[in-house]
Each structure stands twice: as C-alpha cells, then as structure tokens.
Structure 1
Amino acid sequence: MKPLSGILTFVVAAASAIVGLSTAAGPASAADPAPGQPCSAADLGKRYPVVKSARVEPTITHFKTFFVTEGTTGSQTLTLETSTTITVEVGTTTQIQAGFNILTLGRVEAFVNRTVKKITASTDKEVQTITWNFNAPGYYGLFKGTRKVSGEYAGINCDRVDLGGGAFATQWVERPGGTYTTYSVMEEGAIRCADAVPPNSLMRLAQIQLGCDGVAARERAEERAKAGRRAGEPAAGKPGVIAPLAVPPGFTCDSALYRIGTPDRLLAFYDASNSGEIRHAGWTSNSRAYWRVCQGPQSNGKTEYVFVGQHGGNCLAVMGAEETGDGGRLEEANCAAVDDRQRFYVYQDVAGSNLVGLQVKRTGFMIGQARLASGEQIRQYSTGMADGTGTFLLDKVT
C-alpha cells in the first residue's frame, strides 16, 4: 500500500507572530491502521485517532509591565497578570482521560515534533510569579508564554465497504472528528523596546504587548469589538426537546424486533432489573431484551440510528451525567426529538453478517463493557474495546 504523505505549509504573520503548520495527512503511530487497510469483525468496536492539521502559535499567557528607575535595579520577584488562557481540549471536553483523548494528543506531539501537554491542564494553573535580575533602568515587559498548538483530528473505524460487483469487505474508514487545543512548555523572560529580538518569537510578542510599536492598543480595540459581537449573538437552542411520540421525528423503524448481544448468543442488552440502566443479561425471549431499530437522517457521512425498547418505548442513550466520560453508562431514556446521546452510528461486517460496532454520535465513543459477564454494565469507551469485545450481534427476532 502506498504510504501516506503530506505537504507542510508554514505561514508567518509578523504582527501576531503566528506560525501555521498544516497538512492533508500526518504521521501516525506504526501500530495504528490507516484508512483503506483491511480490518476484521473483531475491529468493529474499535476507534483510532488521526491528526489532520496543526497550527503552532507563540502565545503570551501572563504579562506585567514594570518600570525600573536608577537605583532600583537588582533582583525582583513579581506576580504577573493573566493575559491569554490556553486550556487543553479535545473535541468538546477539557477533561483529558486515558483513551482516545490521550492518543490524539500523543499523535499531535509526533505530528509537530514538539512536546505538548497530554493531561487536563490550563495555563491559568501555571505559576504566575517571575524573578528577574534587572541590571539597567528602563520600561520592561515581564512575560510567561508558550506555543499554543491547535488543529483538527479525525477518527478511523472499521466498517463494511462496497467494492462493487456484489463484493464487500471490511476496511478502516476515516470518520469526522473535531478540533483540539494544547500547548507546549512554558517560557519566561523580560523585554524592553530597545532590545533586538527575533521576529515571530515570544519576545517579539511581549514587545508588541508592551506597546513598543503601537500594535497593542489596536489589538485590544479589535478584541473589544469581537467581544461585543459575541455578546450580541443569539443563544444556541437547547437540545433535548421531548418528541410527542416515542420514535423521534424523521426516524423510520424496521417492522422486525432485534436483540443486541454477544456473538455467542449468551448475553444481550436490556434492563433486566427495571432500573433504567442497561446491562448484559442472559439471552432471552423476554420483551425487555427486544429493540426496534430505527433509521433517520445522515450526518457526518453515516446514517443515524436510534434503538427503541419494545417493553417501555424508551430510547437507548448514554446517561446525561456521564455523557462525556470514558466508561459512561447506557440507559433507557425518554425518546427526544433532538438528543445526540440517543443517536448511534452502526459499523457493519460484510454482507450476510449480523456483527456490528456501535458508536455514540454525541461523543464518537464506541459501545462496550469492562468484562463479558451477566449483570455487567454497558458503557461507552473513547477508543472502543482493544480485545474485540466491542463487536456485537444485531440479531433479528421476528
């Protein structure tokens, strides 16, 4: 197979000292599969990250002006003020946990060849004091800063691919991801307008913030204007409006009923205890274990599905309080007109097979369980199940 390659483009903007780094495809771990490579049914419940682009921006995070007069030179310890906050974020979460988020940031580090934060972190938490030895009088800008690294990532999943002529195969396919932000090591220093510094450096940014060339005032005015525009924007609509019927609008249900369970037909998803929480329980003909499979619109290149319980008419969903976390549990909840916790993408084996992998639209996480056992909770995992136990049987009952 032809190896992946990318074109690196560097863009330098002197006023903002931004260095941009982007590419159509970046380096991946040698252990990671690539889109187009074959996969097996055991891979249906797995997910890997791939970094699509990266932008590296020198950023001043803490700043303070300080005037040193004759006779006041020497060592000074000063508390800086927060200038710009950078928070590590992958997708919509700032809680960086083991799994897909950590893997994504690890791929970012390799992509930009620079050490970056791969944990829950914010520059607000960095130490904001600086000790500096002033040997000459003058007007100084004291700063701490770093390189902000941001860009886009995608996921790759195993799915059925139509090869044409009635032939099918399972291959790794690229799926939409989101954006990420992280930052590199912190740096600190002191600068004067008279100092000669490299362009596009943190020191040059500090000179601009010090007002050495009149740029700082203009940038502050632009930021105030942007803030005013943001304040006037309409608030986003809230999801979760309850549909008048159990099946959400725009979804059509198969007339057959299905069980979702392990390929050996020993365990199935259902609320055996009537608690609302979905667990593995013994394979049964009890209606609690039966689901209606309903297809809806396409989004991100895949058809959306909802699974409506035959017994109570409720929808399979990730618990609201746990929706962004690895290990978030699944439950039956009132079907909503708009709620991506209840929407799933289905990854299928070759034609004629009932084996599937299930992905939560809201988070991109794959469905699985900590262990295969009766009574075990069904959960979501950011990278899926490495041992292949995230592959389930979508078994038609009637």
Structure 2
Amino acid sequence: MTRLRPWLRSALTLAMFAASAAIGGTAAAGPALAADPKAGEPCTAADLGKRYPLIKSATMTPTITHFKTFFVTAGTTGSQVITLENSTTITVEVGTTTQITAQFNIATLGFVSGFVNRTVKTSTASTDKEVQQITWNFLAPGYYGLFKGTRKVTGQYAGINCSRVDKGGGQYATEWIERPGGAYTTYSVMEEGAIRCEDAVPPNSLMRLAQIQLGCDGAAAKEKAEKQARQQADEPLTVEGASGTVVAPFAVPPGFACEAGYYRIGTPDRLLNWWNQDGTEEIRLQAWSSSSRAQWSLCQGPVSNGMPEHVLITRYSGKCLTLHSGETAAEGGRLMEESCRTVDDRQRFYIYRDVPGSDKVGLQIKSTGFMAGQSVLANNQELRQYSMGMADGTGTYLLEKVA
C-alpha cells in the first residue's frame, strides 16, 4: 500500500504525481500488446469457434474512495488509528457482469493492465470491500483530511472472432474480424494519505482531490467535490436484449425465415452430432442416426452488430436452441431446448463460416458473446458455452444439409 505524506519534499511529491494520470485524462496506449490474434490476420477453420478480447480505449481517473476529516491539537500528535467513511464505490465490471469468472472477462482486464501500463484489478472486486482503517503518525497539529483512493480505469473493449471475409473478385479467406463488445470498469492499487489545507500539492492529484473534499477552497468547492464524487459512483448499465412474450412451441419467431430442409450440426469428423436427449430438454453430442432428434431448422433473421441473427429449431420438438436462463454468465453454461420466443437473445446465434465449399462453422450466443462448445469431445457430452471458445479447436462444427 502506497502512503502519500503531504509534508515530504516537493521532489518526491512531483515524482509520484508524474506516475499518475490527470483527472479524467485518457491513458496513452503505450507499447503494443503481445496478445494474439489481431484483426485482419489470417485464421483457420479450427479457429471458427474461438473468441479473444481487444481493448479499444482506457481512461484513468483519480478517485477518492474513502475519506475522513480529523483534527489534531497540540499535544495529541503521534500515531492514530482512524476509521474512514466510504465516499465513492468502484466495482470491477466487464459489460454488465460484476462476477469476473469468464475467461474472456479475465483476459480483457489483463489486457487493460498492459494497455495502461499499470496494475489493475482483474478479478471480482469493489473498493467498499477494501480495509477502511488506516494508521497515521501525525507530526504536527492541524485540520487533516485522511483519504484512500485509486485510479478508476474505464473504457471500451471488443471481441475478435474468425470468419469468412470476401476479398473481392470471387475470392474468400478466413480472417480474424472485430466484433462488438462493451464497456469495462476496474481500478488500480489503493493509495492512502493525510492532507492539510496549507500543504502544497500538485494539481490534478489524489492529494488535491482530498484538499477539495476537506473544504480548503470554501463551501462551494466542497459542494462541487461532493457532487463529483456522487457522479463518479455507479454508472448506469446498458443491457442489450430482454425476454418477451413466449409464442407457440412450433412457431418461428417473427422476422425469421427458415431455409428449406434440415441440417445436422456435428464434429468435423462426422462421428458426433447435436442431439435432442430423449425425455429431457438437454442437447448432447451423440452418434449420428436418421432420427429427427439430430436434425435442425436453420432460420435467419435481422442483422444486428453487423451480422445476421439465427435461431436453431429442433425438428423433433419444434423448440429453439436456448442458453439456460440460470447460467447466462457462467463459464460452461448449458445450452438446451425451449419454446421459441418472440424476443430472447439467449435463443439468437451468430454463425462464423469457413470459405465457400466448406461446411465448417463456429456459433456464438448473442446474449453473452460466448461460443458453443463442450467440456470434452466425447459421446453424451452436453452442449455448453465458453467465453473464449475451445482452445483446442473443438468448438468448430459441421453445419451439413441432410434433408
């Protein structure tokens, strides 16, 4: 934990300030990340079911998270233990998720650290869970503001997926393409200190923020600081998609048109296929047969985020492939069949395709951005979602016309 003592010599103070970003300033990108892949680079059919994060921007904002005024009279100097009060809460968040368990989210925050060249939280965390007591050795009497703070880091991220790209002149290739992501929030290491109005501090620093909150610039400045702290608290979330009215089991959602005939979806070696498990709503890998349990209608709908949406309807039951409602944010969340809904992004899929002449595809759930896969490529395995897809390439499937 870094301690900022206001009475240290100015050289030390300025050195510390030079390492921090200006309030509300945008962090420089710094050296290029070693993360692979990159948009525009070639990929292979084995990459169709994979996904990687890409950091688009990052802004670091010094933020006071805990604060307490403390008056030290002559004769009462020395070491004191002070309990601070919560001022502003920063919660680590990727998209709309605060439980950082998905590998994609962990990797996203890891890339943020490299982007801003500063250690940031890469796991579930909140500043209100930080220790709120500090011990401070007061060397002189005065009116102090004791604080803890950090650099709040916010920005935008995207995803990288492998898909077919039209190169013109009838030529196609598979390349890594940029796909929509969202916003993230994290924060850097916590710092603590004690400040007085008479202390000379750099502008746009945590110490200067603490002076304003102490009221050193008068009542108006204090009110402005408190308003700024409230604005820096929780930011509103934008949630894409919502559940709508359930339609009849055999109905195709409005705005979607199904191709003639049926498809089977299976492993590239054609040994295992997505199968409607008898007596359940589970979808598992099973050996191919002529049963309608292994046949799917492919229905295409509106374009969103630059790609057409699809629903997959089982021939056997007329129900839609759906991400389990209780496992939407879970790494390994199950895919199953449910009645088709008019509006439900858990039933909408983006399909990444190989070059023409190949039936190989990767499938992405719209609601989460996760890729379809299975924990082990073996008979009777449940179909699941994985935030970065399958590293071994087993998230690539055959979408093969059979009827």
Q: What is the CA distance between 1:134 and its match in structure 2?
A: 1.5
Match of 1:346 among 345, 348, 351: 351
Distance 1:339 1:98 in 2: 22
Displaced runs of 4+ in structure 1, greater than 3 A?
219-227, 235-238
Any idea what the Cα deviations from partners look like across 1:238-260, whole Å, max 9, x if unmatched? Answer: 52321356211111111211111
Any idea what the Cα deviations from partners look like across 1:49-98, whole Å, max 9, x if unmatched? Answer: 11110001111111111112223222111111111111111112111125
Distance 1:340 1:198 in 2: 49
Task: Establish whether residue 196 from structure 1 lines up as the match of residue 200 from structure 2.
Answer: yes
**Is the contact between residue 365 and residue 384 of structure 1 (CA under 8 Å) also seen in structure 2?**
yes
Distance 2:383 2:283 in 1: 6
Structure 2 equivalent of residue 175 of structure 1: 179
Query: What is the letter of the counterpart of residue 161 of structure 2?
Result: N
Structure 1 equivalent of residue 7 of structure 2: none
Within a 5 Å distance, the mapping from 1:135-174 to structure 2 comes to: 135-174=139-178
Task: Establish whether residue 294 from structure 1 lines up as the match of residue 285 from structure 2.
Answer: no
Task: Establish whether residue 209 from structure 1 lines up as the match of residue 250 from structure 2.
Answer: no
Any idea what the Cα deviations from partners look like across 1:165-222, whole Å, max 9, x if unmatched? Answer: 1111111111111111111111101111111111111111111111111422134357
Any idea what the Cα deviations from partners look like across 1:263-297, whole Å, max 9, x if unmatched? Answer: 11111112223210111111121111111111011
**Is the contact between residue 59 and residue 153 of structure 2 (CA under 8 Å) also seen in structure 1?**
yes
Task: Establish whether residue 383 from structure 1 lines up as the match of residue 388 from structure 2.
Answer: yes
Within a 5 Å distance, the mapping from 1:37-48 to structure 2 comes to: 37-48=41-52
Distance 1:33 1:275 in 2: 39
Structure 2 equivalent of residue 242 of structure 1: 246
The verdict on how the C-alpha distance between 1:322 and 1:171 changes in structure 2, with shifts beyond 3 A counting, is same
Partner SS state of residue 100, structure 1: helix
Partner SS state of residue 205, structure 1: helix
Structure 1 equivalent of residue 101 of structure 2: 97
Q: Give structure 2 stretches of 5+ with no counterpart.
A: 1-19
Distance 2:343 2:193 in 1: 50
Query: What is the letter of the counterpart of residue 32 of structure 2?
Result: P
Any idea what the Cα deviations from partners look like across 1:331-374, whole Å, max 9, x if unmatched? Answer: 10121111111111000000011100000111111111111111
Bigger mean CA offset, 259-268 vs 344-353: 259-268
Match of 1:123 among 123, 127, 131: 127
Over the matched positions of the two proteins, sequence identity in percent amounts to 64
Structure 2 equivalent of residue 361 of structure 1: 366
**Is the contact between residue 26 and residue 50 of structure 1 (CA under 8 Å) also seen in structure 2?**
no
Q: What is the CA distance between 1:310 and its match in structure 2?
A: 1.2
The verdict on how the C-alpha distance between 1:44 and 1:252 changes in structure 2, with shifts beyond 3 A counting, is same
Any idea what the Cα deviations from partners look like across 1:286-322, whole Å, max 9, x if unmatched? Answer: 1111111110111111110010111111110110110
Q: What is the CA distance between 1:226 and its match in structure 2?
A: 11
**Is the contact between residue 241 and residue 344 of structure 2 (CA under 8 Å) also seen in structure 1?**
no
Structure 2 equivalent of residue 324 of structure 1: 329
Bigger mean CA offset, 56-65 vs 273-282: 273-282
Match of 1:20 among 20, 26, 33: 26
The verdict on how the C-alpha distance between 1:26 and 1:41 changes in structure 2, with shifts beyond 3 A counting, is farther
Distance 1:225 1:202 in 2: 17
TM value normalised by structure 1? 0.90
Distance 2:33 2:297 in 1: 39
Partner SS state of residue 292, structure 1: strand
Partner SS state of residue 345, structure 2: coil
Distance 2:207 2:181 in 1: 35
What is the count of residue pairs matched by the alignment? 377
Distance 1:319 1:20 in 2: 39
Q: What is the CA distance between 1:18 and its match in structure 2?
A: 2.5
Distance 1:90 1:75 in 2: 40
TM value normalised by structure 2? 0.89
Any idea what the Cα deviations from partners look like across 1:89-148, whole Å, max 9, x if unmatched? Answer: 111211112511111111111111101111111111110101111122221111011111
Structure 2 equivalent of residue 395 of structure 1: 400
Q: What is the CA distance between 1:27 and its match in structure 2?
A: 2.6
Query: What is the letter of the counterpart of residue 302 of structure 1?
Result: M
Distance 2:136 2:21 in 1: 30
Query: What is the letter of the counterpart of residue 393 of structure 2?
Result: G
Task: Establish whether residue 310 from structure 1 lines up as the match of residue 315 from structure 2.
Answer: yes
Structure 2 equivalent of residue 278 of structure 1: 283
The verdict on how the C-alpha distance between 1:347 and 1:323 changes in structure 2, with shifts beyond 3 A counting, is same
Structure 2 equivalent of residue 5 of structure 1: none
Q: Give structure 1 stretches of 5+ with no counterpart.
A: 1-10
Query: What is the letter of the counterpart of residue 204 of structure 1?
Result: R
Structure 1 equivalent of residue 80 of structure 2: 76
Q: What is the CA distance between 1:225 and its match in structure 2?
A: 9.4
Q: What is the CA distance between 1:393 and its match in structure 2?
A: 0.5
Query: What is the letter of the counterpart of residue 185 of structure 1?
Result: V
Task: Establish whether residue 220 from structure 1 lines up as the match of residue 248 from structure 2.
Answer: no
The verdict on how the C-alpha distance between 1:26 and 1:45 changes in structure 2, with shifts beyond 3 A counting, is farther
The verdict on how the C-alpha distance between 1:110 and 1:316 changes in structure 2, with shifts beyond 3 A counting, is same
